[in-house]
Amino acid sequence: MIDLEVPRKFRPLVEQARGMAEEVFRPISRKYDLAEHEYPQELDLLSALIDGMGSAGAGQGAGASSSTRAKDEHEGGVAAVGSGRRHAAGAEVRNGSNMSSVLSILETCRGDVGLTLSIPRQGLGNAAIAAVANEEQKARYRGKWAAMAITEPDTGSDSGAIRTTAVRDGDEYVLNGEKIFVTSGERAELVVVWATLDRSLGKQAIKSFVVRRDNPGLRLVRLEHKLGIRASDTAAFHLDDCRVPAQDLLGDPEITTAGGFGGAMQTFDNTRPLVAAMALGLTRACLDTATELLAGAGVTVDWDRPAYAQSAAAARLLQMEADYESAHLLTLRAAWMADNGRPNSMEASMAKAKAGRTCVNVALACVELAGATGYSERELLEKWARDSKILDIFEGTQQIQLLVIARRLLGMSSSELK
């Protein structure tokens, strides 16, 4: 197996994230799974630590709020994870905020995915701001917790069919519509809302707007009761004549062929590797726990012998480890490409598709391998199995990822391949 070395400048960040997972998240994981919708007060004590993790990453952030796309382009060479290396063309290979975010999120999700999603100022909306906002907007929103509102009752996975409208009225936009499945929607200070300036123009008219959570036009309808990640609140909103200052539109306000939805979709190029990292963290937790439980029952893996020469349980663990490694490499590549200014839409979808499906398969298999212990609440395996499914769904379902990949490989547009 290939085992890429963590860049030296990120090692303190990874160690701190691992400590957070083991010493803070794991002990309270079951508590907030049972106490759905109750805010984890323990996370308030981590605010200073989260900021410190950003400093430990040599100026790179520790979560979604820092994930962004490098502005410079590099040509040629191959991906490498080591810091400061150079590729064949002589340009420096960068490991920046995307790589640091992936590495840290992977570790915290070994503790709890829902709690990771509940960390203040690390929302998926923060990644949207980092991907699309101008420098003035980034400075203005810095330090704020932002959720992201894309999905609607009638659109599902087709983000291009958004029906929430935004109409210009002087120095403001007036938003009307409905949003569902908004992660951290109740707790966040800001909500990044995707809306269309003109439904008749399709995807090109879709823009994203930063809406203050206390805006009277943004009305909380309900909090969802969920199968998993119960520590994270998932909200539904109505936008009723919600007035937003024009300066809170992210990116170019003009409707252009080159902008619009394409700019908004850069958000997914940033967040899909992050969700893949969440899936990797949960997968790693399942594998480590199942391996330990099986070892206690006398079942161990011999890494130097082929699978057919070992027990069925050991062979299954070997297969799952291989799937984990492939998902891990795909995720690192997608993050590295973002840090180095390379288009990564296909690679981000590959990482998310592989990691999401691997996570579900591994979580369920580990419950099965652990028998009654895996099915009971004596271990966290059954909880992780419930948590896993959302990682194969949000930020684009498995089917959507495969569609994106197929379009890129075949050189076809969304209208040509639906």
Calpha distance 403→220 (Å, rounded):
33
Of residues 21, 98, 110, the one with CA closest to residue 61: 98
Strand partners of residue 57: 60
SS3 133: coil
Question: What tokens appear for 382 in the block?
Answer: 């059954």
φ, ψ of residue 31 to 5 degrees: the values are -55, -50
Question: What tokens appear for 89 in the block?
Answer: 């063309």
Q: Check if the beta carbon of residue 361 is closer than 8 Å to that of residue 284.
A: no
| Count of Cβ atoms closer than 10 Å to residue 265 Cβ | 17
CA 282-40-37 angle, 5° bins: 85
| Count of Cβ atoms closer than 10 Å to residue 222 Cβ | 11
Calpha distance 19→180 (Å, rounded):
34
- What angle, rounded to 10 degrees, do the helices at 47-56 and 11-20 form? 160
Mind telling me the catalytic residues?
A: 395
How far are the Cα atoms of 43, 164, 306 from residue 345, in angstroms, in the given order? 33, 25, 36
